[in-house]
């Protein structure tokens, strides 16, 4: 799948079913994450790959669909390393979302529900105190066909030359 198709097909899939994800695919996804741009190229993010069903079950307390897969990637970052840690981590996450989609899997950016009990989830994964655990990406297949949520049309979000000029 080419990049533009992956951008168009990427959707938040919350109805997931488990699927075998070969390590070669996992490495391509993780490689896409590590290649993300980061402020001053500090790369303050790291990834935790989780396959252990017990650990996955514990993380599913954040959001139940996390428990419906056989592998997930957790994204952590060190806020003391860069002012841009959140942007950097987000860029890495988006790269991985697109790679997951391009390889034919489905996922969802789990952050809001995870952060409600971040400390508890950090303990589950043994994440050091000074790091933030921001995102979990469960990787599975879509249990049913899913489309990307509706987006604002281009003419509504693009300004030409000056803010407010919506005509090309």
**CA atoms within 13 A of residue 70's CA, in its CB half-sphere:** 10
Under the binding rule (CB under 6 A), the answer on residue 148 touching ligand FMN is yes
**Binding segment (CB under 6 A) for ligand FMN, from list 17-25, 68-76, 110-118, 122-130:** 110-118
Under the binding rule (CB under 6 A), the answer on residue 106 touching ligand FMN is no
Q: How far is CA 51 from the centre of its chain?
A: 16
Query: Least Å distance between CB 57 and ligand FMN?
Result: 18
Under the binding rule (CB under 6 A), the answer on residue 12 touching ligand FMN is yes
**Binding segment (CB under 6 A) for ligand FMN, from list 40-48, 72-80, 111-119, 123-131:** 111-119
Under the binding rule (CB under 6 A), the answer on residue 143 touching ligand FMN is no
Query: How big is the chain by its Cα radius of gyration, in Å?
Result: 17
Q: How far is CA 84 from CA 5, 38, 132, 136, in A?
A: 29, 7, 13, 19
CA atoms of 136 and 124, how far apart (whole Å)? 13
CA atoms of 65 and 115, how far apart (whole Å)? 16
Query: Least Å distance between CB 23 and ligand FMN?
Result: 26
Query: Least Å distance between CB 152 and ligand FMN?
Result: 11
Under the binding rule (CB under 6 A), the answer on residue 69 touching ligand FMN is no
Under the binding rule (CB under 6 A), the answer on residue 107 touching ligand FMN is no
Handedness of CA 22, 24, 27, 31 (dihedral sign): negative
Query: Least Å distance between CB 13 and ligand FMN?
Result: 8
Residue among 152 and 162 whose Cβ is closer to ligand FMN: 152
Q: Is 155 helix (H, G, I), strand (E, B) or coil?
A: helix
CA atoms of 38 and 119, how far apart (whole Å)? 25
Under the binding rule (CB under 6 A), the answer on residue 45 touching ligand FMN is no
Residues found near ligand FMN in the complex (CB under 6 A): 11-12, 14, 63, 108-113, 148-149
């Amino acid at each position: 799948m080419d990049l533009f198709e992956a951008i168009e097909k990427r959707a938040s899939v919350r109805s997931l079913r488990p699927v075998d994800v070969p390590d070669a695919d996992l490495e391509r996804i993780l490689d896409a994450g590590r290649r993300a741009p980061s402020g001053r190229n500090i790369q303050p993010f790291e990834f935790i790959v989780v396959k252990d069903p017990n650990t996955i079950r514990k993380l599913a307390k954040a959001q139940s669909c996390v428990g419906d897969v056989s592998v997930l990637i957790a994204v952590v970052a060190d806020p003391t390393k860069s002012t841009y840690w959140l942007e950097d981590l987000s860029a890495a996450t988006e790269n991985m979302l697109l790679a997951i989609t391009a390889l034919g899997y489905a996922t969802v950016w789990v952050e809001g529900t995870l952060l409600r009990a971040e400390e508890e989830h950090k303990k589950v994964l043994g994440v050091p105190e000074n790091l933030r655990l921001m995102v979990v990406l469960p990787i599975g297949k879509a249990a049913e066909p899913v489309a990307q949520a509706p987006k604002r049309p281009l003419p509504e979000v693009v300004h030409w030359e000056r803010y407010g000029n919506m005509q090309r």
